[in-house]
Amino acid sequence: MTSTTPVPPLATGDGRHDGFPPVREDDAFLEQAVSEAELPALLAALALVTGDTALLEDGVKPPLPPMDSTIAPQGGMSAAAQQRARELAVGALKAFRDGGSVPAPDPGPELLGAVMRFVTKDAGDEYLPLLRHELGLAGDLGAPTWHKDDTAPATPFSVAVIGAGISGLAAAHRLQQAGVDHVVFDKNPEVGGTWWENVYPGCRLDTPNFAYSYSFAQKPDWPDQFSRRQQIEDYLRDVATDFGLRPHIRFDTEVLAASWDEAEHLWTLTTRTGDEPPATSRFHAVVSAVGQLNLPNIPDIPGRDTFAGRWFHSSRWDPAVDVTGLRVAVVGTGASAYQIVPSVVGAVAGLTVFQRNAPWMLPTPGYHRETPPGMHWLLRHVPHYGRCYRFWQFWLASEGRLPFVEADPEWTEEGSTSARNAELRRQLLGHLRAQVADRPDLLAKMTPTYPPGAKRMTRDNGVWAAALKQPHVDLVTEAVTSIVPEGIVTADGVLHEVDLVVYATGFRASDYLEPMTVTGRDGVDLHESWDGDARAHMGVTVPGFPNLFLLMGPNTGVVVNGSSLFMAECATEYVLECLGELLRRRAQSLEPTREATDAFCAWVDEGNLRRAWGVADVHTWYRNRHGRASQVWPYSLVEFHRRTRRPDLSAFTVRGGGEETS
């Protein structure tokens, strides 16, 4: 199935996608397209397009069984329900075509409510604000509730944003909407952050791609089910251009230091652009958008720098290196290794993979698949389908596998943390055994010894096991003890001779804001204050560091539910409400109290200790060197969304404006 129809543009927050061509195809074409569709989202979209809630029959409402090792196809609909859904969808498409492809007026609250209840299996009222925000048909509900020209037109106020990745672009867009002067600094020559930096072979999302997009910049034409790196980078470039963000960005400019001036109530940033001498500039507030996974973790192995061949970290992959015919070592078996190894195995002369802990693998047969042609056609021709499909993917992941990574203090079965976690383990082991039943040696090495969810799980469509089975591939589980000019030496005394070493060893996730020097009130150094244990109120603000806001800060990473874009958007909207409070009050600074921050962190710690990653005895980037899970959000998405709608000023000290409150 092919089509030469032009692809519609990004949605621009006006409540609907523009540019949808009319439906002219015959009945057979429509039936074929619908056979490849995601039905719950399609019925929801067609109900919006036609204004006909009769399409949302109880018999085709997706039952949404709990997610375990897999996601039930079509939301768990029976074969009979799927057939009825296709009949309804084809009939609605024919009527839409025959009526001139004229969509119904923008839906009112009653129709929107019916659609959301259908897709979510009657979610409770507590979810409605979140659901409206993510669907986006009632307008851009994440936009600031204020504008500087109305709130404080005569008050000078400027904001520095550090980083032009997913968080930084969200911040720049919201600041622009609020009419706040701002400058975005990025050390790279282009936007994208991690998606600009990571160019290793096979790099792609492990989150369904529609869910990995802004609510205010929805895209209906993703070509893959899990987007490749270049597709995400292109999307972020388009957002920067289409929303007019580029004039505010200073590329090739690294922020070296940020220092708070208590007398002037200003932040001084020291920056360096290219080879120029360092320069300084001053701002009323600073928003850090440097992310969590941007500082490479390169292991300090004895003799590392004596290696005679090439070596680099996976996030610093050199595209000029041709691996064809080389003997390659990949150190690590986490997410990046999981993508690199299958991508290079066919070109190298030899591949040695060094593993400390085997990854748990989630069955994902469609991980490398393109969007089916019929589905792609529907996304380009049916108004609202892209929004509804993004909403559907978001809802499926909103709670995700949280129930399956619970830690039951009474549970004693080895290798799991609760009855549900044990069931997830059994399912995943069955999936693994089916792939390597003919290789008992590999099965023993590839079987994790820790509970599922204690470390990041990888998406598996069979290519990892297939790569490790190749005759020129060796999976080594002996510890690496040293590196010599010829290669890598392991604890059993074996020298593994290689030409290229790739460190797929993850990131220093707990070292927030490094290598910047950040100095707050009374000359306190942020990194010395944290001492490797980053803490922030709501993951966003820090006591003693006024008007400093962190996006993707401590305890805001999601690892089994949702996506980082959702968390970045929520935090950005929270920051804008904090800035609005400052301007409304003509205040000079805002920061959380130590008591409120300690209480928040204690609550998050309590939640993390009820998750597999909080109790399992395994090395994971979820926890810092003190053993505390300082990176991960343990609760539901709706809880984070609710808490970030507006700041609780009782948790803050607000100074200036003729008063001080706390």
The reported pLDDT for the residue numbered 507 is 79
Q: Do domains 155-191+245-293+513-655 and 304-360+423-503 have the same CATH topology?
A: yes
- Residue-wise pLDDT tens digits, 236-250: 999 999 999 999 999
pLDDT range class, residue 13, cuts 50, 70, 90:
very low
- Residue-wise pLDDT tens digits, 591-639: 999 999 999 999 999 999 999 999 998 988 899 999 999 999 999 999 9
State the burial class of residue 35 (Cβ atoms within 10 Å of its Cβ: 0-12, 13-18, 19+): middle
Region 484-493 average pLDDT: 98
310 CB-side CA count, 13 A: 16
Strands ordered across the beta sheet of 548-550: 249-250, 181-185, 158-162, 285-288, 548-550
Helices 229-242 & 166-177 angle (0-180, nearest 10): 20
Say what the pTM is. 0.94
For CA atoms 196, 197, 201, 205, the dihedral sign is: negative
pLDDT range class, residue 399, cuts 50, 70, 90:
confident
The reported pLDDT for the residue numbered 351 is 98
The CA distances from residue 368 to 226, 343, 371, in Å, are 7, 12, 10
Gyration radius (Cα) of the chain, Å: 26
Helices 385-398 & 373-381 angle (0-180, nearest 10): 120
∠ CA(577), CA(579), CA(581), 5° rounding?
A: 70
Q: In the predicted model, is pLDDT for residue 12 greater than 60? A: no
Region 473-499 average pLDDT: 98
Domain 155-191+245-293+513-655: give its CATH architecture.
3-Layer(bba) Sandwich (3.50)
pLDDT range class, residue 658, cuts 50, 70, 90:
low
Domain residue limits, the chain: 27-141+374-395, 155-191+245-293+513-655, 304-360+423-503
The reported pLDDT for the residue numbered 138 is 83
Q: In the predicted model, is pLDDT for residue 371 greater than 70? A: yes
Alpha-carbon distance of 380 to 435, in angstroms, equals: 37
Domain range 304-360+423-503, its CATH number among 1.20.950.20, 3.40.1350.10, 3.50.50.60, 3.40.50.300: 3.50.50.60
- Residue-wise pLDDT tens digits, 548-599: 999 999 999 999 988 899 999 999 999 999 999 999 999 999 999 999 999 9
The CA distances from residue 206 to 163, 178, 234, 290, 423, in Å, are 22, 33, 17, 20, 23
Q: In the predicted model, is pLDDT for residue 6 greater than 50? A: no
Q: Which residue has the higher pLDDT, 662 or 166?
A: 166
Nearest in space to 218 (alpha carbons), one of 304, 159, 135? 135
What are the φ and ψ backbone dihedral angles of 593, each rounded to 5 degrees? -75, 155
Q: Which residue has the higher pLDDT, 657 or 290?
A: 290
Q: In the predicted model, is pLDDT for residue 355 greater than 60? A: yes
Q: In the predicted model, is pLDDT for residue 406 greater than 90? A: yes
Average pLDDT of the chain is 93
